[in-house]
């Protein structure tokens, strides 16, 4: 077991990539605290994770991390248990894929509140509670470095670019305290988030996108949530003891071209 007795927190752990990471962490012997807004979704995820055989290793926290109250609630919950935190995965995110000229101020603020400020202030609030050799993993996106035709991404790309900068600057600043900070930049992954942005496209645009994906992913398919779990386990584990400040593409080869 590569994460035996490690205490981990996964934001957005009730669905998609975060849930797959939480599941992989549990299988490797870690305890997990998953955070999301919807209590029903959190409960379903808790049941799924508990069915792996260690129900007492699964905790949930219902909080909106796009608000400072939500961030404070999660910090308080970690603090209350009195046990140090070993691994933080800043995964919860939002994607507004809308044309530049129609990005609203509310969409801009929400993107930065969740994709950037939540990672920033959650990490800051938890800083006194990290154990020796802690690992922070930010879930970025290929959209920080590569765009897709007809998928306007200005505000999403900007926020994930900011998250990459945060990853590098914190690796530099927190390294002397023995804290490692890395990011994973997934390619397109089949989750509720992706379906939300694709389902309402007109049929022709959907077909075009499908054809684009098929010819652009060297490995021939988009990702599944558990495609991201191996890299997360590696970065969380002591095997990555000398790995910090990296932005690791896990994208079926998409950004290689
Ligand atoms: N899917 C992709 O193609 C893709 C590609 C590259 C990068 N990513 C990144 O990967 C991360 C996970 O995406 P995903 O596709 O797995 O998304 P997802 O399936 O939609 O899951 C999102 C998770 O985040 C939680 N969440 C959303 N807003 C929240 C908030 N304000 N406060 C707390 N929790 C919140 C959701 O639960 P509630 O709704 O109940 O809050 C859910 O657990 C995101 O950062 C995304 O940008 C995704």
∠ Cα 192 198 203 (to 5°): 140
pLDDT at position 36 over 90: yes
Integer Cα distance of 22 and 93 in angstroms: 16
DSSP-derived 3-state class of residue 184: strand
**Residue 117 CB less than 6 A away from ligand 1:** no
Each residue of 113-146: pLDDT tens digit? Answer: 999 999 999 999 999 999 999 999 999 999 999 9
Domains recognised in the chain with CATH numbers: 7-256 (3.40.50.720)
pLDDT at position 29 over 90: yes
Tokens standing for 15?
A: 């669905």
Catalytic site residues? 156
pLDDT at position 257 over 90: no
Which residue among 17, 35, 216 is best mutated to probe the pocket of ligand 1, counting the most ligand atoms within 8 A of its Cβ? Answer: 17
Q: What is the DSSP letter of 117?
A: I
**Residue 193 CB less than 6 A away from ligand 1:** yes
pLDDT at position 210 over 90: no
∠ Cα 252 30 94 (to 5°): 50
Give the whole-number percent of the chain exceeding pLDDT 90.
91
CA of 78 to the centre of ligand 1 (A): 21
CA of 98 to the centre of ligand 1 (A): 17
CB 229 within 8 A of CB 23: yes
CA of residue 188 relative to chain centroid, distance: 13
**Residue 39 CB less than 6 A away from ligand 1:** no
**Residue 65 CB less than 6 A away from ligand 1:** yes
CB atoms within 10 A of CB 147: 13
| Ligand 1 atom with minimal separation from the 160 CA | 47
∠ Cα 202 204 208 (to 5°): 115
pLDDT at position 110 over 90: yes
Closest alpha carbon to 135 in 31, 239, 237: 237
């Amino acid at each position: 077991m590569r994460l035996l007795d490690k205490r981990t927190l996964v934001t957005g752990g009730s669905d998609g990539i975060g849930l797959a990471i939480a599941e992989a962490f549990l299988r490797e012997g870690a305890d997990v605290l998953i955070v999301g807004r919807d209590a029903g979704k959190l409960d379903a995820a808790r049941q799924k994770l508990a069915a792996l055989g260690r129900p007492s290793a699964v905790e949930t926290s219902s909080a909106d991390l796009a608000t400072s109250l939500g961030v404070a609630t999660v910090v308080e919950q970690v603090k209350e248990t009195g046990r140090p935190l070993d691994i933080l995965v800043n995964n919860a995110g939002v994607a507004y894929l809308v044309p530049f000229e129609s990005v609203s101020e509310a969409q801009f603020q929400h993107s930065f509140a969740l994709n950037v400020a939540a990672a920033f202030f959650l990490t800051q609030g938890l800083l006194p509670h990290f154990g020796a050799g802690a690992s922070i993993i930010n879930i970025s996106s290929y959209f920080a470095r590569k765009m897709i035709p007809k998928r306007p991404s200005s505000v999403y790309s900007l926020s994930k670019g900011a998250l990459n900068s945060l990853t590098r600057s914190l690796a530099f600043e927190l390294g002397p305290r023995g804290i490692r900070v890395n990011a994973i930049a997934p390619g397109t992954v089949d989750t509720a988030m992706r379906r939300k942005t694709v389902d309402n496209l007109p049929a022709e645009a959907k077909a075009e996108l499908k054809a684009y994906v098929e010819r652009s992913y060297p490995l021939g398919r988009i990702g599944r949530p558990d495609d991201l779990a191996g890299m997360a386990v590696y970065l969380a584990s002591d095997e990555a003891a000398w790995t910090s400040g990296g932005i690791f593409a896990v994208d079926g080869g998409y950004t290689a071209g």
